[in-house]
Structure 1
Amino acid sequence: MAHSHPILPISPGGVRIERVVTSGVFELDGGSWEVDNNVWVIGDDNECFVIDAAHEPVTILSVVGDRHVLGILCTHGHNDHINAVPELVSHTGAAAYLHPADRVLWDQTQEAAPDAELADGQTFAVGDVELRVLHTPGHAPGACCFHVPALDVLFSGDTLFNGGPGATGRSFSDFPTIIDSIRDDLLTLHDHTIVLTGHGDATSIGAEKPHVQEWLDRGH
């Protein structure tokens, strides 16, 4: 199923969301796949967060510009979402945040530990909006989404896509777990919540909610 790409909201204080599409290789379990990733930058003219530093640090930094980077928030530890983290940390001095349950994936490709940990319910502020961490395991044990209630936006990483759940056929993933995460933590949000994904087109909670049984029937 294909849904149209929603128009991204801007807060009264000028916080906006920018999408950067970067390209590279996803590697896991001895395989490698060419992928395009969505990197999200949320902030105002002065400061911002980077969500998922993937593949192309120079491209990401060109969107950040001279803004102060408050942090690099990693939705999970797969290499294609974190392989630009070291250069972004080096250039910006910002801390990289990861849920501790995903160190098993992070440590496969990263020499240095993440700078700080994500926890369910944790909040981050930028400008006049707040991002709330939702721990949504399934695609990866430490997978997290970031909900921005003021903008009715959810950064879903690889947990929920336009068309259903993220992949669960590889190591450290589990289909029943991702279904529970989506049903309990994501589909309880407002139907009009825009879902900004780790790959591909955006969707909304209302567009995905009716299809849970289809996902269960197909098993992915």
Structure 2
Amino acid sequence: MGARIDHLVTSGTFSLDGGTWDVDNNVWIVGDDTEAIVIDAAHDAAAIKAAVGRRTLKAVVCTHAHSDHVDAAPALSAATGAPVLLHPDDLPLWKLTHPGEAPDGQLADGQVITVAGTDLTVLHTPGHAPGAVCLYAPDLGTVFTGDTLFKGGPGATGRSFSDFPTIVESIRERLLALPPATVVRTGHGEATTIGEEAPHLQEWIARGH
């Protein structure tokens, strides 16, 4: 049996630059009946652990270190023994949420994470955050984009540690090069496809998100 994708939505807050907002986050679980990884442990470690069930959790993978994507990561790690993995460029953001704690391991561009016989390749896609990554799983026909690419355009770049030209370049070079049918599973909201978003690149640039 190959890997499948399970999905739950958790609710909480996102805080940065002195502001706090209510948010709903997508949490993605990739695996089979035996083992799994979690992509973005948001808000509710108990709910995520329940969704993982009796499976061995191999890793808690962080697409970036904004508080709403990592706030439950240490608790989920403590409950399951799974290492928390983060790109090192996002350590300054991680420390805003978890001062005095550190992730267990690093993510690097081109790194391959294998779960249930399925490979997910790490794509470093800075812009929304310096260490933002996407996870491309060609066997599943999908890419997990965190807050780099949404249905309708790039992730927000109006706050600290973010940059609009950088995110556009990341999307152009790393994501729009993927097959058009690739399903984009995002950090918030509904899914889209690479083919659906690709034609709008110039519109995004003109809008200067």
- CA distance in 1 between counterparts of 2:113 and 2:65 reads 20
Partner of 1:96: 84
SS at match of 2:2: coil
TM-score (norm 1): 0.94
Partner residue of 2:67 out of 62, 76, 79: 79
SS at match of 1:70: strand
Q: After superposition, where does 1:129-168 map in structure 2 within 5 Å?
A: 129-168=118-157
Partner of 1:50: 38
Partner of 1:207: 196
What letter is aligned with 1:213? Q
- 8 Å contact from structure 2 (residues 110, 122) kept in 1: yes
Q: Greater relative contact order: 1 or 2 (C-alpha under 8 angstroms, separation 6 or more)?
A: 1
Q: Give unpaired runs (5+ residues) of structure 1.
A: 1-12
Deviation at 1:54, TM superposition (A): 0.2
Deviation at 1:151, TM superposition (A): 1.0
What letter is aligned with 2:193? S
Deviation at 1:106, TM superposition (A): 0.2
TM-score (norm 2): 0.99
Aligned-residue Cα RMSD (Å) equals 0.6
Deviation at 1:204, TM superposition (A): 0.3
- In the alignment of these two chains, the number of paired residues is 208
Identity %: 59
**Residues 41-86 of structure 1: CA deviation (Å, up to 9, x unaligned):** 0000000000000001111111100100000000001000000011
Q: After superposition, where does 1:185-196 map in structure 2 within 5 Å?
A: 185-196=174-185
After the TM superposition, which segments of 4 or more aligned residues of structure 1 sit over 4 Å from their partners?
Answer: none
- CA distance in 1 between counterparts of 2:74 and 2:141 reads 31
Q: Give unpaired runs (5+ residues) of structure 2.
A: none
Deviation at 1:35, TM superposition (A): 0.1
What letter is aligned with 2:64? H
Deviation at 1:190, TM superposition (A): 0.1
- CA distance in 2 between counterparts of 1:127 and 1:216 reads 39
**Residues 6-63 of structure 1: CA deviation (Å, up to 9, x unaligned):** xxxxxxx331101110000000000000000000000000000000000011111111
**Residues 156-207 of structure 1: CA deviation (Å, up to 9, x unaligned):** 0000000000000000000000000000000000000000000000000000
